[in-house]
Structure formats: C-alpha cells, structure tokens
Amino acid sequence: MRDIHIPVIRVHAYGASSQLTLEEIPSPVPGPGEVLINIVASGVNPIDWKLREGFQQKPLPFIPGVEAAGVVIAVGEGVTDKKPGQEVYGAVDGSYAACAVAPAAQLFPKPAHLSFEEAAAAGGGKTAWGALFEVGQLVKGQRVLIHAGAGGVGSFAVQLAFNAGAYVIATASAENIDFVTSLGAAEVIDYKVAPFETQIALVDLVLDTVGGDTLERSYQLVKPGGVLVCLVGMPSAEKAAAAGIRAVWGGTKTIHAMREVAKLLEKGLITPFVRKVFAPLSQAAAAQNYSQQGGKGRGKIVLRIEE
C-alpha cells in the first residue's frame, strides 16, 4: 500500500480555508483492529473548520474530517466482522481523503436504502443520541425542546426523541416548520416571529445546538430538576444553580451511541438529511466556507471525494 499515493486535503498551518491543501501522500495501512476504506463521501462538520482555525491546537499537519462512508479495501489483523468490498459508514478521523483507516468497531454496514452521501451525514445521529439519552437522560413522556430542529444534529434529535416517546418541541425558521413537524415534533416554534421563550411552557430537557443568546434564553425554560444540554459550549454552572437545573456540555459520542443509531438507521426509523453536496475533494474549502457561513438549511453538508 505504501507504493500507492492517494489525494488528501491537509492543513499545514492554522487559519482560513486557504490553508486546505490538496496533495498526495502514501496510502495508509490498516493496523490491528483497523479497516482501510475507500472513501466515497465525507461529512462536513463545524469541528472541521474550527480545528483548521486552531481550536484545540491539533498537531500539524493533519487531514480534516471525522466521519465518512465508503467501501472496505483491506482489514487489519484481528478484524473478522468487516471484509473487502463491504459498504460501510461511521467515525473516520481524517476523512477528507480518498482512503483512510478507522477502528473496525467505529464502522457499520451501510444500509442498502441509504446513499453514500446520506450515510456520510449520519454522524449527527450519534451526537444527538448521546446528548439526549446518555447526557440528558431523556425518557418516554418527558417534554424536550430542541433548538434548530432542521439542522444536521437537530433533525436527528427530533426523530430520536419522537421515537423514544417524548413530547417534542423544536425551533425552526418558517420555511422549515413543515419539515420539522414531519420528523415528529408536536410543536415547532418560528423563532423569528416572537422570542421562543415566550411561546414555550416549561420542559424537562433543552438540547441547544446553537449557543450564544439562544443558550442564555434557555435556562428559564427548564423545569426545576431538569437539564439543559448544550453542544456548542459549556453552560454556566452559576445560572444553572440559580434556576435549580443541571446544565452540561453534551458532546459525547460513544460506541454505544453509534450502535444504537446504526440499529435505527438500518430499520429506517430515522433518516439522515443532506443539505448540500460538494464535489470533488478539491472543493473542500468551498464546503467548509458554506458550513462556516451557517444558515438555516436542512441536514448536513457532505463532501464527495470524486466528481
């Protein structure tokens, strides 16, 4: 494999999207417990451009990307549940590349009814599952508010909470109200019409995927003893204590969460949504710029490796 070179995107210095360089490197080789996959599509997430800008000071150079879908090329020693030619998806570090290695335990068979682009957008499911159930301890019958219910994580959170038997309230822009309702939300609040905190009765759990002012206005909506889970920063312990609630960062992504989401995807009980596809790999900067601009679209941005 070392004689084969593959195209990748690498970051050699922190900064703007101009730091994303298309180059060729030797193909990686799977070690024990690892799988080498030919990547068809990579999810594009805010963490990708945050790391590029220097967040957490990830050692340079590095290949961006944390999730992908593709086809198994080879397996390392000890891997018995994956085989060459198998279509898979899951957590893949360095997914802005034609090939990458990943732990076999983090990869799952791609459901036949999902495209590679849809499977590459499934990472928001494990984020949402972890935040709702591992961190938020959501149970059947509880009331949950999900901010940005049409987004890459929010759209999964609405589906997951609905499937768990919760009463789901979500915020969304007017053009996405019908979409979020179709995912299972009992109430969808147009946050542009009036402040959302004036339109919602107290809930057991708030899942905040927005942060900033949205987070600040959400403490008051949680019932005493309830929980506020934020995915974009650490909530204020002081404000939580004053409100008599628990407020925590919810960015957990465990193997258990991955497995639970994989089961639901396979059964067709939840669906990944793709906002926009960029192709080929050389469009990585355009994809990250689009992600960084934000917006109120539906689902996740995906980078397809080939045209």
Residue in the block written with tokens 């499911």 = 125
- Per-residue buried b or exposed e for 230-266, using 16+ beta carbons within 10 Å of the residue's own CB: bbbeebbeebbeebebbbbebbbbeeebbebbbebbb
Counted domains in the chain: 2
Q: What is the pLDDT of residue 2?
A: 57
Same domain, 229 and 276: no
Q: In angstroms, rounded to a whole number, what is the distance separating the alpha carbons of residues 16 and 23?
A: 18
pLDDT in tens, 175-216: 999 999 999 999 999 988 989 999 999 999 999 999 999 999
The answer to whether residue 113 sits within a structural domain is yes
pLDDT in tens, 234-293: 999 999 999 999 999 987 778 899 999 999 999 999 999 999 999 999 999 999 999 998
Q: How many CB atoms lie within 10 A of CB 204?
A: 21
From first CA to last CA, the distance across the chain in angstroms is 24
Same domain, 27 and 138: no
Answer whether residue 300 shows pLDDT above 90: yes
The answer to whether residue 108 sits within a structural domain is yes
Same domain, 233 and 277: no
pLDDT in tens, 16-72: 999 999 999 999 999 999 999 999 999 999 999 999 999 989 999 999 999 999 999
Same domain, 243 and 129: yes
The answer to whether residue 254 sits within a structural domain is no
Same domain, 13 and 74: yes
The answer to whether residue 267 sits within a structural domain is no
Q: Which residues contact 256 (CB under 8 A, 6 or more apart)?
A: 134
Domain holding 114: CATH number? 3.90.180.10
Same domain, 239 and 152: yes
Hey, which residues does 169 pair with through a beta bridge? 145, 187
| Containing structural domain, residue 176 | 125-249
pLDDT in tens, 141-163: 999 999 999 999 999 999 999 99
Same domain, 238 and 300: no
Same domain, 132 and 241: yes
